[in-house]
Amino acid sequence: MTIGGIDLVVLIASLMVASTPILLAAIGELIAEKSGVLNLGVEGMMIMGAICGFVAAVHSGSPVVGFFGGALGGTAMALLFAFLTQILLSNQVATGLALTLFGLGLSALIGQGYNGVRPPQTDNLNFGPLTQIPVLGPILFQHDWVVYLSLALVAGTWAVLRYSRVGLILRAVGENHDAAHALGYRVRTVRTLALMFGGACAGMGGAYISLVRVPQWSDGMTAGAGWIALAIVVFASWRPWRVLLGAYIFGGVTVLQLRLQAAGIAIPVQILSMAPYLITILVLVIMSARRGRAAIGAPASLGRIFHASS
Amino acid sequence: MKRRTFLANSAVAGTALATGLAGRAMAASDPLKVGFIYVGVPGDGGWTYQHNLAKQAVEKHYGDKVKTSVIENVPEGADAERALTQLALAGNKLIFATSFGFMDPTINVAKKFPKVNFEMCTGYKSAPNVSNYSGRFYEGRAVCGAIAGQMTKSNKIGYIASFPIPEVIRGINAAYINAKRVNPDAEIKVVWVYTWFDPAKEADAAQALINEGVDVLMQHTDSTAAMAVAKKAGIVAFGQDSDMSAFAPTPRISALIDNWTPYYIKRVGDMMNGSWKAENVWYGLKEGMVQVGEITDAVPAKVKAHALDLEAKIKAGTYHTFEGPLNKQDGSVWLKKGEVADDGALAGLNFYVEGIQGKIPS
Amino acid sequence: MLRLEKRAAPSRFWTVVTPILAVVATMLAGGLLFALLGKPPFEAIRVIFWEPLFGANTAYTLPQLLVKAGPLILIAVGLSLGFRAGIWNIGAEGQYIIGAICGAAVALAFYPAAHWYIFPLMVIAGGLGGWAWAMIPAILKNRFGTNEILVSLMLVYVAENILSWVSFGPLRNPQGYGFPGSRNLQNYPSAHNADLIPNSGLHWGVVTAFLAVIAAYVLLNRHRLGYQIRVAGQAPRAARFAGVSPQRLVSFCLGTSGALAGLAGLFEVAGPSGQLSPDFNTGYGFTAIIVAFLGRLHPVGILLAGFLMALTYIGGEMAQLSLNLPSAAIQAFQGMLLFFLLAFDVLSNYRIRAKENAK
C-alpha cells in the first residue's frame, strides 16, 4: 500500500518506534497532571532516565535491567520534584523548569566516560509466523518489548482511570483537592505516587532513546522530547487513547516529513514542524469552546498548590 | 546555528601583516596560555569532541610549556563575546573559537585585545590578529562518494544533510560527482534534518532513506544514531566528524574525519617562536586537516585500492572533484572542460550539480 | 511530626533571610558536588560568587552582569504581574523571539538608510510584536476559556520555527555567503542598541528593565489596577464581587508581559547579540520564570534575583576557566541553587509547628 511513493505500512511501523519515547513520557505526565500536578521537568527526568538506563544496561549487560535503571533515575528526579512541591509547597512551574536544568547538568556529569560505549542490543520479540501476515505483521508483530509495554500502559491507564477506585481517587484529587481532602483522601500521597509513576515512565522513555533509538550516550540527547510530551498531554485533553494518537501524530509528522523528502517531494520543513503545535492550540480552543467557559478540559486543580489548612 | 564552515574570500586574505609578534616577548619559563571556546561539549562525540582531541594533543605535545583553558557549551551571540573576553582577560595569548557562529563576537573581541591572537574556525572575516581556518571536507567526501558509488547495489545513496548552507551542499555535490564517475547509474537521495545534533531525528532520517531503498548512507550530522540504524538494516555507512570506529568493520566502512591536531600544534608552536601571523587557511587531505578514516575489510580490495589512489591524487593535486565539464542542476553550464572551480565559487556554492534530484530548501 | 501553618501574610523576616539561607545551602551542597568531581570546593565557590563581583577584572565583569541580568529582569517583571493575578504566561520565550524578529525586520527594511527614528520604530515594533504574540493566548482565554499556560507554551515552538524560517529566508544576510542569520545590527549605527556609556553594559534594554521594576512597584503599591491584580490572585471570587473584570486583567497581564518580553528580545538582537540566527534565543524567557519566582514576584526581589542568576552564569564561566569545571557541573549547580531557593520559600509563607496530636 503506497501513497505518493511512501509505503504506508512501513511508515506506520517506523513511526511507532519513533514515537515510543514521547508516548511513554506523555502517558506518565498524564497521570501526574490528572492528579493536579503540572511537572514541567519531563525533559530533565527523561535525560536522567537516558543516562541511568544506559549505565545500568552497560554494567549489567541486560537491556531489561537498563530500562529498570532508567525508570529508577526518572523516579528519583520525580521524588525530588514531589518533595519540593508537595512537602515544601514550592511553585510547580518554577520547580519543573529547575528540574530540567538540573537533570541536563547531572546527566552529563554521570555520563562522563560513557561516550562511545555501546549498550547491549534490545531485540524485537519473536512472534514466529505472525510476523509474516501482510500489513498487520510489520505493524503489530515486529517490535521490541518496550513498544508493547508502552501500548499496554496506555490501555492500563485508560482502564484504571475509567473503572478503578484508584482512578476515581486520582481524578478527585486532581479536580478539587480541598474536597478530596475533606473526604479523607491523602492528597499529597496520591500526588507523590502519581509523580513517581510519571517519573518512571519519563525515565523509561529516555532509556528508550539511549538504548534503542540511538543507541549510545551523548549529552543532551533527548533534544527536547520532554517538551513535546508535555504538548501531547494537552493535545490529548488528558485522555489516554488520545495521548497515543497524539504521540503517533507528533512522532508521525517528523517521520513523514523526512520520508517525503527521501521520496523526493519538496516540503516546507518549518511549516510542517510547527503544524502539530498549531493543531494542539486548535484542539484546545475547540475543546474549551464546546464545554463552555467553566470547564476547560484540564484537571481543575492543575498547577495549584495544595495546603490542608484544617 | 552552529559552527558553519566558511572559507575566507581570497581577496581579504592578504590583510594580515602586522601583529604576529605577541608571543615573542614572553619569558621562556612562563607557559603559553591557550584558550578554547566550544559550542557544545566534548561528550557530543562529534564536532566538539574532535576539537577537544586536538586540544589534548596540544597539551601532550608541549607538556608544561602550555596551559590550556576551556569554556564549553557557549551559545552563539552575546554569551560568546563574553566567554571570549573572559578568556582574553584571563591571560590567554591564543584563543581558538571553534564554531562559525562565534565569528562576529571574535572580531569584536579581537579589536579590544590587539595583543591576543585568535583562531576562528570556519569563519571568513579577517583582522590583523584573527586567523581563519577550515577543512576542505569535500575532498574527503569525494573519496567516500567514490567508495559509495561502487558499494551500492541498489544504486541509491542516502545522504542525511543538516542545514542548506554551502558547506553541506558542497559535500553533497562532491559525493555525488565522484559516485557518478565510478557508477553512472548512481543516484543520491538527500534528507534535510535542520539540526546538527538530534540523535533521534537522525535515526528517523536514516530509516526514511533505507525505506526508500538506499543501501549506502552518508551523513553531515554529528551523532552515531544513523550508524546504529544502518547496522540494524544491514547496510553500510560512513562516519562523520570523528572516526566512529565503534561501528567498524560494518556498517562503518570508512569515515570523514576532522583532524585539527596538526594545525593546533603548529599554531601554538608559531606563537612560541614568535612567527604567528594572521592567515586564512583552507586545508584538505594533503595537510591532514581532513582525513579519510580507515577503509575496512567490508570493502572489496579493488574498491579500496581505487579509493586510496583517488586520495593520493587529491593530495598530489592531480585530481579535482569540481573540474569541468560540470553542469548545474538545471542543465546550464557551470564549468567548461578542464575548468576548475575557484575557492570563491566553492565557498558560496548554493546549487546542486546536474543529475541530483530534488531541490535545496530555501 | 511537624506541620505547616499558613501565615496570614508572608513573613518579612523570612522573606529576607531565606534567600541567604538558600545560597549558603547551595554553597555547601555545591561544594560537595565539586569535591566529588575532584575540584577544590572552596576555591570553586569563591570563583563563582566572588570573582565576578570583586575579582581582578570587575571593570569587565560588572557591566556584563548588567547585560546578562537586564533581559531576565525585564521579562520577569512582566511575568510577575500575571503570576500574582493567577495568569500564567509561560511562553515568554516565544514573545521574546517574535519581538526580536519584528524589531530586526524594521531595521533591515530601512537598511542601510541612516535616520534617527529607526531605533525608536524598532522599539515600538519589538514591543508590539511581543504584545501581539501574548495576546493570542489572552484572546483565546477570554473568548473560549482556553488554558493560557498551554497555549503560550505551544506558541514558543511556533515562534522558534518562524525564527528558523526567517533566518534562512526573508531576513538572511544577502552578503552572508548563504549562511543563515541576518545582518549584524551592531554594524548598522541607526539600529544599534549600543552602550549608553561605552563599556558600561548599560544599554537601553537595561535602562528599560530598571524602569519596568519601578513602574511595577508603583503599579502594585499605588495604583488601583495593581490592587486588583493582587486581589485577583489572592481571592478570585472576592475580586469579581469587587468589580474586577477578569477579562481586562487577562488582557492587561498577558499583553504587558508579552510586550516586555518582546522589548527584551529587540534590545538583545539590536545590542549584545547583534543578529538573528536560528539559535538566537538562549532560554531567557524560561529562565525569567525562575527569576520571577526567586524574586518572590516582587519587583525589587526580581531585580536581585536577576543579578544572582547572572552572577552564576558569569561566575560559572570563570570557574570553567580557572578550575576546568565542566559546564555540566555549573548547570547542576544552578539547578541546586534554584531548588534551595524554592524550598526555603516555605519558611516565609508558612510557620512550622509541631503537631500536637495527630488525628
- What is the helix (H) or strand (E) element at residue C164, kind and residue range? helix C148-168
Q: pLDDT at position A295, please?
A: 45
Cα gap B177→B139, rounded to integer Å: 12
pLDDT band at B150 (very low <50, low <70, confident <90, very high): very high
Measured over the CA atoms of residue C33, residue C35, residue C41 and residue C43, the dihedral's sign is negative
Residues of B in contact with A264 (CB under 8 A): 189, 357-358
Task: Give mean pLDDT, residues C305-311.
Answer: 93
For an interface test with B, which of C177, C186, C195 has the most B Cβ atoms less than 10 Å from its Cβ? C177
Cα gap A51→C33, rounded to integer Å: 18
| For C150, nearest residue in chain A (alpha carbons) | A234
Instruction: Answer whether residue A135 shows pLDDT above 50.
Output: yes
CB B299 within 8 A of CB B216: no
- Averaged confidence pLDDT in chain A: 87
Q: What is the pLDDT of residues A176-222, one digit of tens each?
A: 888 888 888 899 999 999 999 999 999 999 999 999 888 888 888 88
Please return the burial class of B210, using the count of CB atoms within 10 Å of its CB with bins 0-12, 13-18 and 19+: buried
Residue among A76, A70, A72, A85 at smallest CA distance from A40: A85
Taking only residues 42 to 71 of chain A, the set having a beta carbon closer than 8 angstroms to any beta carbon of chain C reads none
Q: Pick from A285-294, C229-238, C299-308 the range whose average pLDDT is largest.
A: C299-308
Q: pLDDT at position A8, please?
A: 82
Q: What is the pTM of this model?
A: 0.88
Task: Give mean pLDDT, residues A243-255.
Answer: 88
Establish if B207 touches chain A: CB-CB under 8 angstroms: yes
Nearest to C286 among A97, A99, A112 (CB): A97
Q: pLDDT at position B138, please?
A: 95
| For B214, nearest residue in chain A (alpha carbons) | A262
Instruction: Answer whether residue A151 shows pLDDT above 80.
Output: yes
Across the interface, whether the CB atoms of A262 and B191 are under 8 A apart is answered yes
Task: Give mean pLDDT, residues B353-359.
Answer: 90
Q: pLDDT at position B224, please?
A: 83
Q: pLDDT at position A308, please?
A: 66
Residues of C in contact with A227 (CB under 8 A): 157
pLDDT band at A1 (very low <50, low <70, confident <90, very high): low
Establish if B206 touches chain A: CB-CB under 8 angstroms: no
The domain locations on chain B are 10-135+259-283, 137-258+291-347
Grid cell, residue C213, equals 521594576
Q: Pick from B26-30, C42-46, C129-133 the range whose average pLDDT is largest.
A: C129-133
Of B56-70, B261-275, C318-332, least confident by mean pLDDT is C318-332
Nearest-Cα distance to chain A for C45, in Å, is 17
Q: pLDDT at position A15, please?
A: 87
Q: What is the pLDDT of residues B14-65, one digit of tens each?
A: 333 333 333 344 445 689 999 999 998 887 778 899 999 999 999 999 999 9
Cα gap C345→C65, rounded to integer Å: 25
* DSSP structural state of residue B99: S
Query: CB-based contacts of C16: which residues, under 8 Å, 6+ apart?
Result: none
Residues of C in contact with A219 (CB under 8 A): 328
Task: Give mean pLDDT, residues B319-347.
Answer: 91
Q: Per CATH, which fold does B10-135+259-283 belong to?
A: Rossmann fold (3.40.50)
Nearest to A261 among B191, B197, B214 (CB): B191
Q: What is the distance between the terminal CA atoms of chain C, rounded to a whole angstrom? A: 12
Q: What is the pLDDT of residues C228-284, one digit of tens each?
A: 888 787 777 777 777 778 888 999 999 999 999 999 999 999 999 989 988 888 889
Q: DSSP letter string over C166-189?
A: HHHTTTS-TTSTT-SS---GGG-T
Q: pLDDT at position B23, please?
A: 38
For residue C8, the Cα-to-chain-centroid distance in whole angstroms is 29
pLDDT band at C355 (very low <50, low <70, confident <90, very high): low
Across the interface, whether the CB atoms of C289 and A309 are under 8 A apart is answered no
Q: pLDDT at position A272, please?
A: 78
Instruction: Answer whether residue A309 shows pLDDT above 70.
Output: no
Of B293-302, C5-14, C114-123, least confident by mean pLDDT is C5-14
pLDDT band at B301 (very low <50, low <70, confident <90, very high): very high
* pLDDT > 70 in chain B, percent: 92
Matching CATH number, B137-258+291-347, of 3.40.20.10, 3.40.50.2300, 3.40.640.10, 3.30.750.24: 3.40.50.2300
For an interface test with A, which of B157, B195, B201 has the most A Cβ atoms less than 10 Å from its Cβ? B201
Across the interface, whether the CB atoms of B203 and A259 are under 8 A apart is answered no
- What is the helix (H) or strand (E) element at residue C79, kind and residue range? helix C58-84
Task: Give mean pLDDT, residues C331-346.
Answer: 87
| Phi, psi angle pair for B301, to nearest 5° | -55, -40
Residues of B in contact with A217 (CB under 8 A): 43
Residues of A in contact with C353 (CB under 8 A): none
Q: pLDDT at position B4, please?
A: 37
Establish if A219 touches chain C: CB-CB under 8 angstroms: yes
More confident residue, A85 or A118: A85
Establish if B192 touches chain A: CB-CB under 8 angstroms: yes
CATH fold match for the domains B10-135+259-283 and B137-258+291-347: yes
B-contacting chains (≥3 CB pairs under 8 Å): A, C
β-partners of residue B239 are B255
Q: pLDDT at position B2, please?
A: 40
Grid cell, residue B26, equals 614572553
Task: Give mean pLDDT, residues C223-228.
Answer: 83
Residues of C in contact with A296 (CB under 8 A): 145-147
Across the interface, whether the CB atoms of B191 and A258 are under 8 A apart is answered yes
Establish if B184 touches chain A: CB-CB under 8 angstroms: no
- Averaged confidence pLDDT in chain C: 89
